[in-house]
Amino acid sequence: MKSVTTKKLLIHLFKYVFLTAFCLIILYPVLYAVLGSFKSNYEVTLGGTLWPKEWMFSNYMEAWHQFDFFRYAMNSLFLSFVTTVSSLAVCSMCGFCLSRKRFRGKALLEKTILATMFVSIGTVTLRPIYLMMVRVGMHNSLWPVVFVILSANMGTYVFLISKFVDTIPRELDEAAYIDGAGTFRVYWQVVLPLVKPILGVVGLFSFRSAWNDYINANIFTMTQPQLRPLTVGVVSLRYGVMSAAQWNIMLAGAAMSILPMLVIYAFTNKTFIAGLSAGAVKG
């Protein structure tokens, strides 16, 4: 009995040590960026200590005013908002159709969508996508970035929503049809309110993907600096007016770009956890 108790204590101790180490590994880059944003450029370049010797709050003011940080933030908000709304609208309708409708080729379509979750072509498609957007005259805007992010994650979002819709009793649909409701009304008024937990998860993932995207946004805004989102604009903060590397200003910009995601997660934490747990139980 004593050996069993000792074994359980060792297991719990290992879990706490492992989780603590894991959290420290994840939080260290964030702490480095936040604390480094209060240092002088010389102290950041010199390194050696994590805690600032002299707190320089002026780094944030310089990053905000000197490099048009507000415009970058508005571009990121536009990109993330449009991508999130588009993902929720398109993926929820696709998930509803795959779950509720029967049509020829449905099984093949489901397998194709499932396959896209495990196949990532990545940067190979950047050139053909850019050339395609040039031909349609959309290469000097943020809309191609919206389309790329939406298509890259659509398979996962559609799969999650369709499997969540499968858990809703079809009797609710039939009752609505008997009352004279059409397909869209069933989707909008019956199914959609019942899948809010998974919609919250999809919305948060979509917003995060759009907010943190760098490669696509960098490619499509190379000739249009005024369209740069925060991820691209923060990198440009590295160089000042004298073309000298200003790591402290860039870290201040990075710290400000992290703040919106932390605020959104703080307000949507319960919805996010509820969506994940509900999907785990119902799936």
* Range with lowest mean pLDDT among 111-125, 144-158, 264-278: 264-278
135: containing domain: 67-236
User: For position 93, what pLDDT does the model report?
Assistant: 92
Which CATH number covers residue 103? 1.10.3720.10
**77 burial type by CB count under 10 A (0-12 exposed, 13-18 middle, 19+ buried):** middle
CA dist., res. 147 & res. 83, Å (int):
8
Q: Mean pLDDT across the stretch 260-264?
A: 80
**227 burial type by CB count under 10 A (0-12 exposed, 13-18 middle, 19+ buried):** buried
Whether 158 is covered by a domain: the verdict is: yes
Decide if pLDDT at 1 tops 50: yes
Whether 80 is covered by a domain: the verdict is: yes
Tens-digit pLDDT profile for residues 119-167? 766 677 788 888 888 888 888 788 888 988 888 888 889 988 988 898 8
Whether 111 is covered by a domain: the verdict is: yes
Cβ(248)–Cβ(37) under 8 Å?
yes
Whether 161 is covered by a domain: the verdict is: yes
AA letter at 153: N
Residue with more model confidence, 275 or 167:
167
Whether 76 is covered by a domain: the verdict is: yes
Residues 6+ apart with CB under 8 A from 225: 236
Tens-digit pLDDT profile for residues 176-234? 888 888 888 989 988 998 888 888 889 888 998 899 888 888 888 888 888 888 888 88
Whether 257 is covered by a domain: the verdict is: no
Residue 87 pLDDT level (bands cut at 50, 70, 90): very high
Whether 52 is covered by a domain: the verdict is: no
Residue 84 pLDDT level (bands cut at 50, 70, 90): very high
User: For position 274, what pLDDT does the model report?
Assistant: 64
CA dist., res. 235 & res. 215, Å (int):
12
Assign 3-state DSSP to the chain and report helix, strand, coil percentages, each to 5. Answer: 80, 0, 20
Q: Taking phi first (over 0 means left), then psi (-120 to 50 degrees means alpha), and beta for anything else, what does residue 105 get?
A: left
Residue 86 pLDDT level (bands cut at 50, 70, 90): very high
Tokens, residue 1: 């009995």
- Assessment of whether the complete model's pTM goes beyond 0.75: yes
Decide if pLDDT at 276 tops 90: no
User: For position 89, what pLDDT does the model report?
Assistant: 93
Residues 6+ apart with CB under 8 A from 69: 63, 233, 253, 256
Give the count of domains, the chain. 1
CA dist., res. 64 & res. 45, Å (int):
21
Whether 91 is covered by a domain: the verdict is: yes
Under DSSP, the state recorded for 103 is -
Residue 85 pLDDT level (bands cut at 50, 70, 90): very high
